[in-house]
Structure 1
Amino acid sequence: MASGRPLSTAEGFLCGGVAASIAVTVSNPAEVAKTRLQLQGELAKSGTQKVYKNALDVLGKTYKNEGIRGMQRGLGPAARRTVPYAYQILLNGSRLGFYEPFRRNINSLIGRRPDEQLASTAVLAGATSGAVGASLGNPLFLIKARMQAYSPALPVGAQHYYKNSFHALSTIFRAEGVRGLVRGIDAAILRTSMGSSVQLPSYNLTKNFLVSRDILPANSTWTFLASSAVSGVCVCIVMQPADTALTRVYNQPTVVGPTGKLVGTLYKNPIDCLWKTAKTEGLRGWYKGSTAHFLRIAPHTIITLTANDLIINLYKKIRDRDI
């Protein structure tokens, strides 16, 4: 990092949010494909007819039937972009901005040096910062997943049509109140905590390995790229089952339950979703859309973490220029 005082939590939050906003523009088409593959054949035995063969088939059919607008569902035209990018700032700003303060404080609590790199405290800090980000961004992630699942041409799973992000938020709030906006928050926390528990620790451990053995210099873009590539693979492997559960819990239809409140018709919670998926579709059901997930998470992780380091270095040079 550039010289000068360490970033404050607020500075880290903003830098991380900007980096993630750049990444989501590139990775969104793959996330649309991932979402639709995860919903295809939901709770159905093997042998059922498939709408999509694989990730590339989803992208090809989506572009053919829905154009660029379909490929970028969840981002939409300029008037709708504020909510998805706000989600990236809330989620990844929290994960990247809170990670280092959490890790340092946890180290201090157990009597270790704040700057010491420990795998255990890194994983715990990653999971905790991920849980914070997931909680803050849940309503926006909910509507993004539903908008990505919607296809007027080749629908899979339950279909929720919203004109734009703000229409989605108001529709859900009118129908279910605040409860509707926090639907699936347990699945979001599980998914993001699992991903965050390995993303930043694997990134930092890989970077430290490359630098400490003089394989690559500390502030090289190649160091950031190599470290984030390894991190992307780790995240995809660990997070995929929880990501599938999140998509399905978010997208499931709802009915009025015995208490008069809207409840999901398919799943009670993410664990129930994983159990029913494994029981009906086998463990392979947890990894539906894993290729699309990798195509989404690899560039997203690489761009987010590389851009985050580059943005931090640039920001610190500008900030500390007159010091």
Structure 2
Amino acid sequence: MSELSTLEGFICGALASCGAVTLSNPMEVAKTRLQLQGELAKEGIKVYNNVGEVFTKTYKNEGIRGLQRGLGTSYVYQTALNGCRLGSSRTTWQLNGLFDHPGIPLEKNVTSTSVGAGIVSGMMGAASGNPFYLIKARMQAYSPSLPVGTQHHYRHGFDALRSVVRVEGLGGLLRGIDAAILRTCMGSSVQLPTYIAAKTYFSKHGIFEPNSLANFIFSSSISGACVCLMMQPPDVSLTRMYNQPTIKLENGKTVGQFYKNPIDCMYKTVRAEGFTGLYKGTSAQFLRIAPHTVCCLVFNDLVCGWYSNFKHDYFKSTTTSS
């Protein structure tokens, strides 16, 4: 399989991510609404008791459109986030001298190099995709019939961008970027390393063939579970920081009404709701992240493989005809 350039890796990663999010977006809607339910309250009326109720009530009151709220914005976000993360991580791995010993094959270099690659590429993706994740979270939280948390009604993604800039200024698009970077770094630092480690282990011990579908699925599932465990608390923090109401100070600056930063958000959440408040929506998160991670990484391997083969065959035929 021929080596892909950074641009080619970016495009393949973006396509893989968009395919995966089409399937996982309804779970993202459920996760967002569960995370906002009972915000900063010890007790309260529950709109949803579990993930199943989010699905049934949302579909009953809002239809399939309600389950796929924010899908268009999710495509843009996934392109920015995972395109950077999956596309640039291989380039980052190749800078072996910064982390591990030069010359170690990428498949074996799963310690500090792959962790560093995941963190760096995750930070790049989180920063570039922050405005779209903010809009996506607000659109997914919105429900005309069963509202939870602060409600932001936007007609579509472009309307949301205009509204945020008009009400909160350009700085509003960067709201929660610190929480986004924290969340994504924690997830990215374990996603690719655990995937590669699991895939290598299964291949080395003869459990699965190196490039078999079973190897892809089981390795991706292990990776997804690790990601879910690591990033759930900062994910709750991120959702709440994005969705919180804003106030304008005397100096004209617009700030969040409830939280100053992700640490402040997590502290206030634990104080008001207990430690379990940081893990609201965990079941929806796992049900989202496991299939999303499986699909994303499998699609990425498949798309890169298909494109590499096409590229090889194309240049081979061109050379032969010349």
Q: What's the TM-score once normalised by structure 1's chain length?
A: 0.94
1:252/1:266 contact within 8 Å kept: yes
Matched residue type, 1:199: Q
CA shift for structure 1 position 25: 0.7
Task: Select the residue among 273, 276, 293 that pairs with 1:281.
Answer: 273
CA shift for structure 1 position 108: 4.8
CA shift for structure 1 position 104: 2.1
Is residue 74 from structure 1 mapped to residue 64 from structure 2 by the alignment? Answer: no
RMSD between superposed Cα atoms in Å: 1.3
1:106/1:125 contact within 8 Å kept: no
Which blocks of at least 5 consecutive residues in structure 2 are unaligned? 317-322
Q: Which residue of 2 aligns with 1:56?
A: 52
CA shift for structure 1 position 101: 1.3
Matched residue type, 1:17: A
Q: Compared with structure 1, are the counterparts of its residues 109 and 299 closer, same or farther at alpha carbon in structure 2 (3 Å cutoff)? A: closer
Q: Compared with structure 1, are the counterparts of its residues 108 and 189 closer, same or farther at alpha carbon in structure 2 (3 Å cutoff)? A: closer
Matched residue type, 2:40: L
> Matches of 1:177 and 1:267 in 2, distance apart?
18
Q: Which residue of 1 aligns with 2:152?
A: 160
- 1:63-118: CA deviation from partner (whole Å, max 9, x where unpaired): 1111101000112xxxxx3x431211111001101111112214455543252514
Q: Which residue of 1 aligns with 2:29?
A: 32
- 1:135-163: CA deviation from partner (whole Å, max 9, x where unpaired): 00110111000000000101010000001
CA shift for structure 1 position 222: 1.4
Matched residue type, 2:161: L
* Mapping of residues 185-204 of structure 1, within 5 Å: 185-204=177-196
2:100/2:113 contact within 8 Å kept: no
Q: Which residue of 1 aligns with 2:256?
A: 264
CA shift for structure 1 position 176: 2.2
Matched residue type, 2:208: L
2:89/2:121 contact within 8 Å kept: yes
Task: Select the residue among 39, 42, 45 that pairs with 1:42.
Answer: 39
Task: Select the residue among 77, 84, 109 that pairs with 1:94.
Answer: 84
2:93/2:117 contact within 8 Å kept: yes
> Matches of 1:109 and 1:28 in 2, distance apart?
35
> Matches of 1:87 and 1:10 in 2, distance apart?
17
Q: Which residue of 2 aligns with 1:219?
A: 211
Is residue 236 from structure 1 mapped to residue 236 from structure 2 by the alignment? Answer: no
> Matches of 2:122 and 2:309 in 1, distance apart?
28
Q: Match of 2:95, SS? A: helix
CA shift for structure 1 position 311: 0.8
Matched residue type, 1:271: I
Is residue 122 from structure 1 mapped to residue 114 from structure 2 by the alignment? Answer: yes
Is residue 174 from structure 1 mapped to residue 179 from structure 2 by the alignment? Answer: no
Matched residue type, 2:53: D
CA shift for structure 1 position 178: 1.5
Q: Which residue of 2 aligns with 1:248?
A: 240
Q: Match of 1:125, SS? A: helix
- 1:202-259: CA deviation from partner (whole Å, max 9, x where unpaired): 0011011111222211221111111111111011110100110000000000001242
Q: Compared with structure 1, are the counterparts of its residues 9 and 168 closer, same or farther at alpha carbon in structure 2 (3 Å cutoff)? A: same
Matched residue type, 2:19: I
What count of residue pairs does the alignment treat as equivalent?
A: 313
Q: Match of 2:255, SS? A: strand
CA shift for structure 1 position 278: 0.9
> Matches of 1:145 and 1:84 in 2, distance apart?
9
Matched residue type, 1:153: S
Q: Which residue of 1 aligns with 2:140?
A: 148
Q: Which residue of 2 aligns with 1:78?
A: none
> Matches of 1:289 and 1:299 in 2, distance apart?
16
> Matches of 2:112 and 2:250 in 1, distance apart?
44
> Matches of 2:201 and 2:100 in 1, distance apart?
24
> Matches of 1:188 and 1:285 in 2, distance apart?
19
> Matches of 2:45 and 2:76 in 1, distance apart?
37
Q: What's the TM-score once normalised by structure 2's chain length?
A: 0.94
- 1:21-54: CA deviation from partner (whole Å, max 9, x where unpaired): 0011110111100000000000101x32211101
Matched residue type, 1:305: L
Matched residue type, 2:4: L
